[in-house]
Structure 1
Amino acid sequence: MTAMTYGRTPKANRYLSNSLETASPAALVVMLYDRLVLDLKRAEEALGAGDRGTAHTNLVHAQDIVRELLASLDVDKWEGGPGLSSLYTWLLQELVTANVTADAARVLFCRTETVEPLADAWRQAALEVLNTNPTPTTGR
């Protein structure tokens, strides 16, 4: 059972699977960032409570998300690509260090100073794409 499916009913897992299969690329990035923020919040809370196991699980999942974002980034598609790649690499290193050292302050910094601003930027970009490419309506 993965962190994405843990504790979900089979019906909820089907809904999640269908949502992922039909989402646009922009929506998928927003979903990844939303889950990344959630993982970091959970890790912070767990570290604050002294629960290293839960913190570890959430930090590893957060690292997996960052790796996926990094792997799917085509740095040649836009001029900001190399910078974002470097940022993802730095973030990954910070999350590994936070996990090894149980550093809740480092997790908080990564979340509030890096991930949440990026999540907001991607959400805004996805909305702009949606607004410039509205779904066609039927002639009813």
Structure 2
Amino acid sequence: MTAQTFGARGANRYLGDSLSTASPAALLVMLWDRLVLDLQRAEQAQLDGDRELAHRNLIHAQDIVHELRNSLQVGAWEGGDNLMALYTWLLKELSAANVSGDAARTAACRTETVEPLAEAWRQAALEHLSSTSAVAPGVA
């Protein structure tokens, strides 16, 4: 086994361990962060004229949005219907950006919708973590 193979296996194991031990809030933040990364990569590939790379990243981004949409419990909170509608709209926009190769459309999805939502979920996760820590003082 080469050092490179060992390094890749170690990285995959670390990622697997990180995912299996992450809280639901942390997993949600990871998904949103990866969605942002996929859209950044897709936009750059579109600007570079690399349709295949853009396509792969936009498909992965759509897979993430599908997962978010499928795991959404619409009736669990007041904004559930609106978030479902937003996910549906985002899927349509990402698909259209993929078909058209429109980097500006991809960028708009990222900057106007995905990045603000990613930040909102990050803040919510931090607030949840803070409130959980406050419940059990002295626990490390």
TM-score by length of 2: 0.91
Instruction: Give the corresponding residue for 2:85.
Output: 86
Corresponding residue number in structure 1 for 2:33: 34
Q: Aligned residue for 2:13? A: 14
Q: Is there any run of 5+ residues in structure 1 with no aligned partner, and where? A: 1-7
Root mean square deviation of aligned Cα = 1.2
Q: Secondary structure at the match of 2:96?
A: helix
Residue 137 of structure 1, aligned match among 133, 136, 139: 139
> SS in structure 2 opposite 1:110?
helix
SS at match of 1:57: helix
Query: CA separation in 2, counterparts of 1:10 and 1:74?
Result: 35
Shift of 1:10: 1.1
Quote the Cα distance in structure 2 between the aligned partners of 1:94 and 1:73.
19
Residue matched to 1:74: 73
Give the aligned residue type for 1:76: G
The one-character-per-residue Cα deviations of 1:10-59 (angstroms, maximum 9, x if unpaired) are 11111111111111111111000000000000000000000001000000
What secondary structure sits across from 2:74 in the alignment? coil
Q: Percent identity?
A: 65
Distance across 2 between alignment mates of 1:13 and 1:106: 33
Partner Cα separation in structure 2 for residue 11 and residue 129 of structure 1: 31
Equivalent pairs counted in the alignment come to 131
Could you say which residue in structure 1 is the equivalent of 2:42? 43
Q: How far apart are 1:105 and its partner, in Å?
A: 0.5
Separation in 2, partners of 1:79, 1:25? 20
Shift of 1:137: 2.1
Q: Which residue of 2 aligns with 1:23?
A: 22
Amino acid at match of 1:16: L
Please tell me the residue identity of whatever aligns with 1:93.
K
1:76-121 per-position Cα deviation (integer Å, ceiling 9, x unaligned): 1100011000000000010001001101000000000000000000
- Alpha-carbon distance between aligned partners in 2 of 1:82 and 1:9, rounded to the nearest angstrom: 41
CA–CA separation in structure 1 for the residues paired with 2:112 and 2:64: 17
Residue 114 (1) aligns with residue 118 (2) = no
1:5 counterpart residue number:
none
User: Between Structure 1 and Structure 2, whose CA radius of gyration is higher?
Assistant: 2
